[in-house]
Every structure is written in C-alpha cells, then in structure tokens.
Amino acid sequence: MSALETQKRIDELGAWFQNLNLNGVQTAPHHFLGDYPAVKFAGFAQALPNGLTGKSVLDIGCNAGFYSLEMKRRGADRVLGIDFDERYLAQARFAAEVRGVDIEFRQLSVYDVGSLGEKFDLVIFMGVLYHLRHPLLALDLIREHVARDLMLFQTMQRGSSDTVQLEADYDFWQTEMFSRPDFPTMYFIEHKYAGDPTNWWIPNRACTEAMLRSSGFDIIAHPEDEVFVCRVKRECPGSDVTRGTQQAKASLRPASA
Ligand SMILES: C[S@@+](CC[C@H](N)C(=O)[O-])C[C@H]1O[C@@H](n2cnc3c(N)ncnc32)[C@H](O)[C@@H]1O
C-alpha cells in the first residue's frame, strides 16, 4: 500500500488518539502530548520482559493498538486487544494489517472480561482507570478473571505524589490523616476534567498504590510517575483480595438472585 493510500485510509478511520507510524505516515501527528504513546513508552519499556515468546497478552482499552503491536514485536504468541469503542478497534485492525501481524481485536468492556474465560500472562491496563465510574470493580474483575502473572498499569494522577506508611486500622475519633495530602485519595469529577466528561476519578499516588494492593496486585516496579508493573498476589482466604473479589461478584449479581 502506498503512503498516499495509507493516508487516505487513516483519514477515513476518523480522529486518532494514538500516533502510530504506518508506512511512514503518522496517524496523530498533532497529539497534545507529542509523539504519544511512543514518548511515554520510552520511559518504561525496559521494565517489561523483552522476550515474550510463548506468552499471552491482553491489552484492555487498546485504542489503536500501540501496546498490542509492541507486545507482538516482543514475540508474544497471542495478543488480544479489547476496547468498547468500535472506531478505535477499526484503527487497530488497520494498523495490524499494515504491519502484517496477527492480533485479535474485539469489542468488549473491561467490566465484561469475565466472559473471556481465559487468563493472560501479561495484562496491559493503561490509561483506562480514570475513565471508569467503577474503577475498583474493574481492577477486581481483572484480578479475578484475566490476570495470571503480570499487569502493566497506568493512570492519570493528581495531588500529592508522596506515599506514607498506612496503619492497619484507625480509631473512629482519629481524623487528622484525612487532611494529609499523602493519605490515599481519589478526586471525583462530577462534570468534566480537561474538557473530557469521561474522566471520572483521579487518584493520588498513595491511592493508586493502595487500590492495586487491595485488588490483589504486588507492585514490583514503578519505572515512571504514573506507571506501575504489578504481579498477581497469591490469594489467601480472608485477605483484602478475597474480600474485594467477593464484593465485585456480589455487585454484579442481579438484585433478584
Ligand atoms: C486514554 S485512552 C488509552 C489508550 C491506551 N491504552 C493508551 O494508554 O494509550 C482510553 C481507552 O480506553 C477505552 N475505554 C474506556 N472505557 C472502557 C471500558 N469500559 N472498557 C474498555 N475500554 C474502555 C477508550 O475507548 C480508549 O480507547
């Protein structure tokens, strides 16, 4: 396919969020964050296994497939990208076709990952959490249904980037920690943030880390401010992990059940 034909197809597929280089043509050359996500990936690419031969990857909120394509380039056997926006999926399918790689892209919400009936060696959950009304539910469902070993995670963060040693419990009359900027906090966006009505919850760093732990992930690397590499914790009865997944299941159960 010539560069001219590639440009025509790129234009037909609507506005692109991810800037990919397809046949020498940039898909989003004017992205407000620059050459995105390539510039971001450059800051933490080394934190992921270089060789993924024999491994399976699930890219949740895959958009135009940047991370799916990167993981395929690292040799992953099976890569599945899911997103609930069919327009982005059409872009991702076109990108994979141009690059000549075999990646499956499927329309699916993160809330429905249980329907996949399959666990993946690496789950990529980048830039989606703050777009969700139910962020903790999504993490619990990922942990319960699709994460076998590693998760690459990113969220927008605001507020303090300090972390503090948390107590296991606090007395009812002890309230001073709620005024501390480093206590786990999520900012709720009722209307819009950065002009985007799909931004719902923005955690500070302590909250990001606490939510990951509480959903059953150990943080094994923090290569960049917003990016965390996690490993699935071994489940033990009575732990927060078990508590979290039980609550996730209960909240999905129809009221009549
Ligand atoms: C900010 S983009 C991030 C794209 C990509 N992961 C990255 O880091 O460059 C958020 C993506 O999440 C998708 N998304 C939002 N809510 C979703 C949901 N409930 N289930 C699946 N995908 C969702 C959007 O369609 C969009 O492609």
Tokens of 186: 């999520």
Indicate which atom in ligand 1 lies nearest the CA of residue 59.
6
Give CA 114 to chain center in angstroms. 16
What's this model's pTM, rounded to 2 decimal places? 0.93
Best of 16, 32, 82, 84 to mutate for ligand 1, by most ligand atoms within 8 A of CB? 84
pLDDT value for 1:
86
Instruction: Output the six-digit token pair for 196.
Output: 């985007």
Q: Which residues line ligand 1 (CB under 6 A)?
A: 17-18, 37, 61, 63, 66, 83-85, 88, 109-110, 126-128, 131-132
Q: In the CATH scheme, what is the code of domain 3-252?
A: 3.40.50.150
- Rounded CA-CA distance 64/235 in Å is 34
Domain regions of the chain by residue span: 3-252
How far is the C-alpha of 124 from the C-alpha of 145, rounded, in Å? 14
Q: Compute and round to an integer the Cα radius of gyration of the chain.
A: 19
Compute mean pLDDT per 10 residues along the chain, 257 residues long, and list them.
Answer: 94 97 95 93 95 97 98 98 98 98 98 98 98 98 98 98 94 96 97 97 98 97 97 70 58 46
CB atoms within 10 A of CB 15: 9
Q: Please tell me what DSSP assigns to residue 135.
A: H
Mutate to test the pocket of ligand 1, among 63, 89, 124 (most ligand atoms within 8 A of CB): 63
Terminal C-alpha separation, the chain: 54
Asked if 64 and 35 touch (Cβ cutoff 8 Å), the reply is no
Nearest residue to 82 via CA among 110, 115, 123: 110
Classify residue 42 as exposed, middle or buried by CB count within 10 Å of its CB (0-12, 13-18, 19+): exposed
Residue carrying the six token digits 């990001």 = 208
